[in-house]
Amino acid sequence: MKTFKAAPLIFLLIYTSIGWPTHSVCKNSHLEIYYISCDPLQDFAFTLDSCSGLTTGSVNIRAATVLRHSIRELFVTVNLFFNGKSIPIFSRQLCEQNHPNLSFCGKKKGEHVYYEGPVSFRSYDIPHGDFNVTVELFNGDQHTIVCTNFTILSR
Amino acid sequence: MKTFKAAPLIFLLIYTSIGWPTHSVCKNSHLEIYYISCDPLQDFAFTLDSCSGLTTGSVNIRAATVLRHSIRELFVTVNLFFNGKSIPIFSRQLCEQNHPNLSFCGKKKGEHVYYEGPVSFRSYDIPHGDFNVTVELFNGDQHTIVCTNFTILSR
Amino acid sequence: ISCEVTRTVDKMCIEFIANRSYSCEDLGLEQIPEYLPFTTEVLDFSFNFLYALQSPTFSKLEDLVSLDLTRCQINWIYGGAFQSNSHLETIVLTGNLLLFLADEAFTGPSHLKHLDLTQTGLTSLEFIPMQDLGKLETLILGSNHIQSIQFPPDFPTKNLKYLDFQMNIIQKISANDIAILKKTSNLTLILKGNNIAVIEDRAFSSIFFYSLNFGGCINISVILDGLQGAETVVLWLGSFEDMAHGIDISVLMLQGICNISAHELNLQYHHFSQISAGTFQCLTKLQKLDLTHTFLKMLPPDIVSMNVLKELHLSKNDFMLLCDISSAAFPNLTHLFIRDNSEKLNLGSGCLETLSKLQYLDLSNSQVQSSDCCNQELRGLSSLRHLNLSYNRQLLLHNIAFEECANLVILDLAFTQVTTSEPEGPFRNLHLLQSLNLSYCQIGSSIQYILQGLESLNVLNLRGNNFESGTMLNDNVFRQTPNLEVLILSSCKLPGIQTKAFYALRKLKHVDLSYNNLIAFSSDIFSNLRSIYLNFANNKIRIIPRDMLTSLSGKSVINLSYNPLECTCSNIELLTWYKQNIDKIEDSDKTTCSEPKSLAGIKLFFVNLSCGHHTAQIILITLV
Amino acid sequence: ISCEVTRTVDKMCIEFIANRSYSCEDLGLEQIPEYLPFTTEVLDFSFNFLYALQSPTFSKLEDLVSLDLTRCQINWIYGGAFQSNSHLETIVLTGNLLLFLADEAFTGPSHLKHLDLTQTGLTSLEFIPMQDLGKLETLILGSNHIQSIQFPPDFPTKNLKYLDFQMNIIQKISANDIAILKKTSNLTLILKGNNIAVIEDRAFSSIFFYSLNFGGCINISVILDGLQGAETVVLWLGSFEDMAHGIDISVLMLQGICNISAHELNLQYHHFSQISAGTFQCLTKLQKLDLTHTFLKMLPPDIVSMNVLKELHLSKNDFMLLCDISSAAFPNLTHLFIRDNSEKLNLGSGCLETLSKLQYLDLSNSQVQSSDCCNQELRGLSSLRHLNLSYNRQLLLHNIAFEECANLVILDLAFTQVTTSEPEGPFRNLHLLQSLNLSYCQIGSSIQYILQGLESLNVLNLRGNNFESGTMLNDNVFRQTPNLEVLILSSCKLPGIQTKAFYALRKLKHVDLSYNNLIAFSSDIFSNLRSIYLNFANNKIRIIPRDMLTSLSGKSVINLSYNPLECTCSNIELLTWYKQNIDKIEDSDKTTCSEPKSLAGIKLFFVNLSCGHHTAQIILITLV
Ligand SMILES: [Cu+2]
């Protein structure tokens, strides 16, 4: 039975060696955004109708994933990587154990979650420069639900 | 490019060597029915609620397949194999090119076709003995849509 | 003797047209094979495994025009999946459960014309990114779970000709939903198999369709209310044998058609339990009317004249007498179908007399029986070119059977018992007849004179008649039909063929003699062997001498399958010729040895005989 | 020096309990591995590839009790697929697009209790063969395309406790549809996310539910009409943040509840724009009421007394003053939630005075600010045991802060600025307090006296306070809380720890000192090291001498990750101990070398140092 115990270790190796492809999010003269999944288990599906919406505070997105773990509890954190430092910029609990605020709270392992439509947020000016933003969703057991690393090139 | 032309030949070999599993249709003290797909490309999904319905003229079935070819035209033939001879017992055109009698006529390659519900037919006494009945559905290009070989053990 | 088969199961795609067209169907592939040339234009990649389409997936096939991805387990289509395929016109995604289509999923092919999304699990139109679909001509969305046809504002209407929503779950249609279709013209819109319960009144008004299909929608009233003011060439409102027949079509319901412009109307498989002249009141502008299987026993004699009606389908109904269709109301009819009548159809006398323009008449499989066919019955049909009386009961032909139908080109009597009473040909006035089907007509010895006068005959099917006494087919029989090109004599119990039987047939190209009792393959009975097709399958041929084979030149093809061919040195001439002429053989897979027992069932092609002076040595080669 | 990693990528299932429980999740398998023992009872086979289930598929695993087949691309389940698995109680088929279930698909497991068919593409209940499901307790049919809940006559009702139809497309429910549910009792029926537009009046009458969930159904009137005469413990009618809020809840609508027996009612995320005493008229029998996010500014003062109400949720509303909730109407309340109030919540004075039975009060994240917290504000709450004031603005605590709440067991002030004005502990009367959360409270030097009197304190969270001057935590601080078991001091900018600081804490079990500036791992400051958890992650520790480690006996666990540990001979004592005590290490994957540069980032476990008399030799072992 020795072989059984090797599995988690191997798993880790695959994580570090197999990368997901880089996807383009949007591109205009001022802004280029790419993303890459940082979830070892799967790629993430995401698109944005245009870059320009990002500065006006409303964009249309499509996003989809297959849950690898249930989301009775769900948290989101957004971190900015700048000059090698990780700066937390946003963090919120999206689903509470016994208080499902969002209709998809409580979905289980294996379910497909899809959102298509507008997303609005506080509009802000994207500073010039190249930086990375990591968006991570995880559940109450700290399992990664979605992990996405955005590369933003702003001119 | 020589290798390309070998494909059909290989295909044939697979047909004759890979068999589909035998499925049980029903079983009671008088009757046992099994079937096996005779379509080289795929197995066939079929169940019958009970053997006894076969002698009363009405049974509930479930049947499903994925079409490998379109069925603008569709024909069914039923042959009885008895003492090594093939005796045609039923033959009908189910779909006509420009006259779709059945709602599924005209479905295309890749579509899933599913039927669930009652089927009635002229009731008949199943003679004693072991015999085989082959049901074959094919389209206007003579491509096999479904081919099923039933083994009937009647006591 | 052992027979070994080696398998090379490295599956390769099939080449249809070198460097241009390939099929990789069902090869278990997980990516596009490297060996496909960059110039590939047509690729059938159906029934493989792709899971996700990314920008590199098809990046090497820059010349692709048509791509079939049916049932490839594709769940994800990311942005730029087709970005290298700027010439792509057709993408088939049938049977893939799509979990995600990126906004830029279809970016790249700037002339994408045909997109097939059948059974892809769609629940709404918004799932499909429209931004790159502006040139679309065909959009197929059948067998999904779409509840509403609210089109997004950027829905492509410019070139759209074919929009298929069949087998979705659309229950309601509002005028707003489909207002955008006013920008299309000649659109074919298919809503078949949706259980439509509500359409806003006049929702379809002022839209110009080529075809509107509401097949299987039970409530015709609802649909006609919604269609008030619409224009379409074809209006398909029929139902199906496997669907509930729904409510009776009443006179009142069909009055809605007065305000719809349609040339062709299909109402098959609906109930017309009470039919009256009023039923047809709003149908007078129709050119084609299909009333197949509508429980009709008669058409009322007082129907207003339908002067423009050219084609009428009355098959699968319950007429007793042909006169009950009241043919006088359709004076300009060219095509009439009364097939599969549930009752024994009495042809009456002159029932179709007024149909002087009728060209096509189908009365097949309607239990027709006539003891003096068919001059009275078909009186007046002077324009008739195609007559189908097949699968009926019995026709007795006295003297000239189709006197007034001298322009007949095609006559089909298959599976109908044909009896002639005098030794003069019943068809002898049909000088224009090109095709005659007499299969399973039990004609027997009357073959001697039945072909009399058929000097234009091109195709003759005699399958399933009993010519057990082979002498029936003497050299006089086919002298009457010198232009015959296709002759079917299969399943005729022929024991042999007279040497001169086919000698007069200099144009003969296709002869089917399968399923007889022939013991000899005699090619010398045909006068022209340059490019002939000879089917001798399922006979009793054991040995074929060399001279019967060598005369088969050019593009000739023979079928010798299911004959008890000997693979012994007595038959070495066939075996040698066979290997050298495999391109002339049809069904070589079923062309096998019967003797010696050790080789029984082995394909002729794989047998190598060494026939020495005294000994015969048998060698089997193995398949590569 | 080279570092070589060999990969063995033959993926194997993970064993959880020897011979009984295994996970083969996401290993790309196409069949059940042969090496799984016959005795396997629990198998997670999710995210593999099976395509079709046949009778041989699971035939060897005769002891299976629970089988997870989530997303295995299963399309076909043939008869007898589980015929060998007679003990099987749970089958999860989530995310497989089922094209066919044979009548005998579930034959075999005679005690099948839980069947999960979430997202399997179902369009009707008839697709599921019921013949072997008689013992079913849980049936999950969520996220399919079911339009109608017409149950077949053999639908299993005997043991059924949980029936989930969430996220289907059910629009209509008739009394006939669900009549069969009268045979169940205490059923949980989930219809969340169906856009229900029509329910037959009293369709649910005389059915006894445990829970009825119509979450996200917009038209509450329709639902309440259908529920007339029904009995249920829980009635969940709430909506969601990501859904349309739908129509206003009117007084009239809620009158329907008078004829429904329910103990708990959820109406979250609906609109109550006009609220009056009448609104609550039919709610007087409720024990629990959830009005989270219902746009409430106040509850009317003239509400009839809700004497049995024990739990009230008013979070995410728009109250200005705590008195506006009219607490006098709920005299027996034990739990009250007013979290995430959108306005700055003024606690007023004695607003909750009448709630003498209140045990649990949550006022977190409501922008509360108080300059003399909290005796007036919480007057009368003598039963209070759990108080949450976290994520508020600022509380000034003068003298004894919770005078009347002497029974408090849990107090949470995290992320709220806490200021004390005198050198006497504001909590010194809370002798029963077991858990105190002061994380990110900016308490600084007041730590000296703030713990005064907390002799029962068990858990203390001080994370994120600034104790930059390490001397603040002298030996007197924790002498006040001798029963402390869990102490969180992470992110406190601690430069070091006084030798005697924790000496009084003889029961300490869990200490988190991560994210500080500690340079030494000093285990000797703890009086009991038999089974302690010490988290020193993210500090500045380079070298750990042997004597700090050897004292860690028994079940102790330490976390040294993200420290700049040296992998040189100066640290050979740590490196040697580490390898021998890997079971005592948490986060060994992130416990890596910083020095020498050549080994930077390599995990400590894989480093083998040979430290001779004069030379140091470094050997890296390779991973098996
Ligand atoms: Cu679906």
**A102 with D193: Cβ contact below 8 A:** no
Smallest CA–CA separation between B7 and chain C, in Å? 6
Question: pTM surpassing 0.95?
Answer: no
The CA distance from C119 to C97, in Å, is: 7
- Whether the CB of C251 is below 8 Å from some CB of chain A: the reply is no
Residues contacting residue B16 through CB under 8 Å, at least 6 positions apart = none
- Whether the CB of C95 is below 8 Å from some CB of chain B: the reply is yes
ipTM over 0.95: no
The CA distance from D230 to C80, in Å, is: 54
Chains C and A touch (3+ CB pairs under 8 A): yes
- Whether the CB of C606 is below 8 Å from some CB of chain B: the reply is no
Name the β-bridge partners of B45: B64
Q: Say what the pLDDT of residue C5 is.
A: 32
CB pairs under 8 A between B and C: 77
- Whether the CB of C597 is below 8 Å from some CB of chain B: the reply is no
Instruction: State in Å: Cα C119 to ligand 1 middle.
Output: 8
User: b or e along D141-171 (b: 16 or more beta carbons within 10 Å of the residue's beta carbon)?
Assistant: bbbbbbbbbbbeeebbbeebebbbbbbbbbe
Of C73, C97, C145, the CB nearest to D145: C145
**For the segment D340-392, what is each residue's pLDDT rounded down to a tens digit?**
999 999 999 999 999 999 999 999 999 999 988 888 999 999 999 999 999 99
Instruction: State in Å: Cα C70 to ligand 1 middle.
Output: 16
Which band of pLDDT confidence, cut at 50, 70 and 90, is reported for residue D614?
very low
Q: What is the mean pLDDT of residues C19-38?
A: 93
Q: Which of residues 92-121 of D touch C (CB under 8 A)?
A: 97, 121
Neighbours of chain C (3+ CB pairs under 8 A): A, B, D
Q: Determine the Cα angle at D334 with ends D328 and D337, to 5°.
A: 85
Q: What is the mean pLDDT of residues C98-116?
A: 95
Give Cα D230 to chain centroid, integer Å: 32
Element (H, E) at A13: helix A7-17
Would you give the DSSP letter of residue D494? -
What region, left, alpha or beta, does residue D210 occupy, with left being phi > 0 and alpha being psi -120 to 50 degrees? alpha
Q: What is the mean pLDDT of residues D310-330?
A: 95
- Decide if pLDDT at A3 tops 70: no
- Whether the CB of C108 is below 8 Å from some CB of chain B: the reply is no
CA neighbor of D384 nearest in space, from D370, D368, D399, D363? D363
Instruction: State in Å: Cα D42 to ligand 1 middle.
Output: 29
Instruction: State in Å: Cα D119 to ligand 1 middle.
Output: 8
Smallest CA–CA separation between C263 and chain B, in Å? 17
**C76 with A49: Cβ contact below 8 A:** no
- Environment class of residue C340 by beta-carbon count within 10 Å: exposed (0-12), middle (13-18) or buried (19+)? middle
The CA distance from C460 to C471, in Å, is: 19
Q: How far is CA C624 from CA B9, C9, C447, C621, D255, in A?
A: 10, 11, 51, 9, 84
CA neighbor of D116 nearest in space, from D86, D146, D136? D136
- Environment class of residue B2 by beta-carbon count within 10 Å: exposed (0-12), middle (13-18) or buried (19+)? exposed
* Cβ atoms C501, C478 nearer than 8 A: yes
The pair of structure tokens assigned to B42 is: 């795929």
Question: Domain boundaries in chain B?
Answer: 23-154
- Whether the CB of C241 is below 8 Å from some CB of chain B: the reply is yes
Using an 8 Å CB-CB cutoff, list chain B residues near C46.
109-110
Instruction: State in Å: Cα D145 to ligand 1 middle.
Output: 6
- Decide if pLDDT at A103 tops 70: yes
Residues contacting residue C291 through CB under 8 Å, at least 6 positions apart = C267, C268, C272, C312, C313, C314, C317
Using an 8 Å CB-CB cutoff, list chain D residues near C145.
123, 145, 169
Name the β-bridge partners of C236: C213, C266
**A103 with D95: Cβ contact below 8 A:** no
Which band of pLDDT confidence, cut at 50, 70 and 90, is reported for residue A15?
very low
* Cβ atoms C447, C465 nearer than 8 A: yes
**C127 with A116: Cβ contact below 8 A:** yes
**B66 with C95: Cβ contact below 8 A:** yes
The CA distance from D301 to D305, in Å, is: 10
**C589 with B12: Cβ contact below 8 A:** yes
Instruction: State in Å: Cα B95 to ligand 1 middle.
Output: 26
The CA distance from D624 to D611, in Å, is: 24
- Whether the CB of D12 is below 8 Å from some CB of chain A: the reply is yes
Q: Determine the Cα angle at C93 with ends C91 and C94, to 5°.
A: 130
Cis peptide before C351 (omega within 30 of 0): no
The CA distance from C593 to B138, in Å, is: 29
Instruction: State in Å: Cα C122 to ligand 1 middle.
Output: 7
Q: How far is CA C553 from CA C426, D144, D604, in A?
A: 39, 64, 83
Name the β-bridge partners of C558: C534, C585
The CA distance from C398 to C403, in Å, is: 11
**B10 with C7: Cβ contact below 8 A:** yes
Nearest CA in chain D to A42: D26
The pair of structure tokens assigned to A93 is: 């609990």
- Decide if pLDDT at D4 tops 80: no
**For the segment D552-603, what is each residue's pLDDT rounded down to a tens digit?**
877 889 999 999 998 888 888 888 888 888 888 888 888 988 888 888 888 8
Tokens 């999923």 belong to residue: C105
Which band of pLDDT confidence, cut at 50, 70 and 90, is reported for residue A9?
very low
**For the segment C335-392, what is each residue's pLDDT rounded down to a tens digit?**
999 999 999 999 999 999 999 999 999 999 999 999 888 889 999 999 999 999 999 9
CA neighbor of A99 nearest in space, from D261, D223, D314? D314
Residues contacting residue A64 through CB under 8 Å, at least 6 positions apart = A45, A46, A112, A113, A114, A115, C76, C99, C100
Chains B and A touch (3+ CB pairs under 8 A): no
What region, left, alpha or beta, does residue C227 occupy, with left being phi > 0 and alpha being psi -120 to 50 degrees? alpha
The CA distance from C289 to C325, in Å, is: 13
Smallest CA–CA separation between D119 and chain A, in Å? 7
Compute the 3-state secondary structure of chain A and give helix, strand, coil in percent, each to the nearest 5.
15, 50, 35
- Environment class of residue D433 by beta-carbon count within 10 Å: exposed (0-12), middle (13-18) or buried (19+)? buried
Strand order across the C394-397 sheet: C369-373, C394-397, C417-420
**A114 with C129: Cβ contact below 8 A:** no
What is the identity of the amino acid at B119? V
Nearest CA in chain D to C121: D121
What is the identity of the amino acid at A33? I
- Whether the CB of D195 is below 8 Å from some CB of chain C: the reply is no
Q: How far is CA D237 from CA A9, D195, D613, in A?
A: 47, 13, 77
The CA distance from D416 to D390, in Å, is: 6
What is the identity of the amino acid at C370? S
Neighbours of chain A (3+ CB pairs under 8 A): C, D
According to DSSP, the β-strands at D162-164 and D138-140 are parallel
Q: Say what the pLDDT of residue D611 is.
A: 74
Q: Mean pLDDT lowest for which of A17-31, B11-25, C105-119?
A: B11-25
Half-sphere exposure in the Cβ direction for C597 (13 Å, CA): 0
Using an 8 Å CB-CB cutoff, list chain D residues near B23.
78-79, 102
Q: What is the dihedral of CA D97, D101, D105, D111, to 10 degrees?
A: 70
Residue ranges of chain B whose pLDDT lies below 50: 1-18
Using an 8 Å CB-CB cutoff, list chain D residues near A100.
215, 240
CB pairs under 8 A between A and C: 40
* DSSP string across C13-34: PEEEETTTEEE-TTS--SS--T
Q: Mean pLDDT lowest for which of C551-555, D225-229, D277-281, D509-513?
A: C551-555
Q: What CATH architecture is A23-154?
A: Sandwich (2.60)
Q: Determine the Cα angle at A115 with ends A73 and C175, to 5°.
A: 140
The CA distance from B44 to D128, in Å, is: 18
Of D73, D97, D147, the CB nearest to C169: D147
**D71 with A7: Cβ contact below 8 A:** no
Q: What is the mean pLDDT of residues D450-472?
A: 87
- Whether the CB of C528 is below 8 Å from some CB of chain D: the reply is no
**For the segment C166-221, what is each residue's pLDDT rounded down to a tens digit?**
999 999 999 999 999 999 999 999 999 998 999 999 999 999 999 999 999 888 89
Smallest CA–CA separation between D119 and chain C, in Å? 11
* DSSP string across B119-134: EE----PPPSEEEEEE
Residues contacting residue D64 through CB under 8 Å, at least 6 positions apart = D40, D41, D42, D43, D58, D85, D87, D88
Q: How far is CA B90 from CA B125, C595, D250, in A?
A: 16, 35, 66
